[in-house]
Amino acid sequence: MTNPAPQPQTLRQNSHPAVQPIHPHLTGPNAAVEATSLAKTYGRGDTRVTALRDVSLSFAAGKFTAIMGPSGSGKSTLMHCLAGLDSVDGGRIRVGGTDITALNDKQLTLLRRERIGFVFQAFNLVPTLTAEQNITLPLALANKPVDKEWFDYVVSTLGLGDRLRHRPHELSGGQQQRVAVARALLTRPDVIFGDEPTGNLDSQAGGEVLSLLRRSSREMGQSIIMVTHDPVAASYADRVVLMSDGNLVGEIEDPTTESVLAALGKLGA
């Protein structure tokens, strides 16, 4: 006899005033990323784990969204699938109107290089390159010229003007992550994905990086999707999407640390 599949813990609208049902699907130019009926499993037989269960949602262009949930909720799997870093077993994903589930490996590589930015917990900088060379690396790999005006604007906004000739070991953790943010912004991607981007930073440096991400969204129109376990980090976003057991269970608009903590408490996170 097999055990029944775990049932999602649903956060109803009246369970906490801030939590709402997932927003209806956005289409066209108002959506930076769209996911429809995503399914993803790992393993087989007794080790089979369902990471995503019929997940459908969209992310508005120019907005900063955080994805949260307990450990094993599927939030990292969702981000990796949306970014084209992992495949899905079913459903479709559109990035900037392109169905990435229909692309082959080479096409996916090109799309990630040219239209998607990444900011990871590990800064992923090349240690032998200067900050400037790390920032411009994606364009160098694509053999594309640097838009000097945009480069200067990004560098100035992120406060890196006097650090461009420094190598990563000569920079603080916060400065290294700012270089990573600048690198992600330089190609003007359809979306930037952040995977626990402040996980290796102290609270002050983390706050600075989160403020920069929020400014990137509000002042540069950049679409940002961030996975985090930190309610304080999530409070910088415009919207928090909540997951449990591979299901979407609600969202919070204009989140605060308190509203996120209350919602996570309902999920046992």
Task: Yes or no: say if 77 and 86 are a contact pair by the CB < 8 Å rule.
Answer: yes
Task: Yes or no: say if 23 and 264 are a contact pair by the CB < 8 Å rule.
Answer: no
Q: Is the pLDDT of residue 3 over 50?
A: no
Q: What percent of the chain has pLDDT over 70?
A: 90
How much is the average pLDDT of 111-138?
93
> In this predicted model, what pLDDT tens digit does every residue of 20-36 receive, in sequence order?
877 655 555 578 999 99
How much is the average pLDDT of 237-255?
95
Report the distance separating Cα 254 and Cα 15, nearest Å: 17
Q: What is the pLDDT of residue 24?
A: 55
Report the distance separating Cα 52 and Cα 233, nearest Å: 24
* DSSP strand pairing (49-60 vs 64-68): unpaired
Reference 70, options 146, 16, 9; nearest CA is 9
Q: Which domains does the chain have, with CATH numbers?
A: 18-267 (3.40.50.300)
Q: Is the pLDDT of residue 135 over 70?
A: yes
> In this predicted model, what pLDDT tens digit does every residue of 65-88 receive, in sequence order?
999 999 889 999 999 999 999 999
How much is the average pLDDT of 151-157?
92
Q: Which two tokens stand for residue 64?
A: 């900063």
| 8 confidence band (pLDDT: 50, 70, 90) | very low
Q: Which two tokens stand for residue 108?
A: 């996916």
Q: Is the pLDDT of residue 49 over 60?
A: yes
Q: What is the pLDDT of residue 2?
A: 45
Whether the CA torsion 156, 162, 165, 168 is positive or negative: it is negative
Residues in CB range of 112: below 8 A, 6 or more apart: 83, 84, 85, 118
Task: Yes or no: say if 33 and 225 are a contact pair by the CB < 8 Å rule.
Answer: yes
Query: In which order are the strands placed within the sheet that holds 191-195?
Result: 19-20, 247-253, 239-244, 64-68, 224-227, 191-195, 116-120
Element (H, E) at 137: helix 131-141
| 7 confidence band (pLDDT: 50, 70, 90) | very low
Q: Is the pLDDT of residue 186 over 90?
A: yes
Q: What is the pLDDT of residue 45?
A: 82
Report the distance separating Cα 258 and Cα 18, nearest Å: 10
Report the distance separating Cα 225 and Cα 35, nearest Å: 13
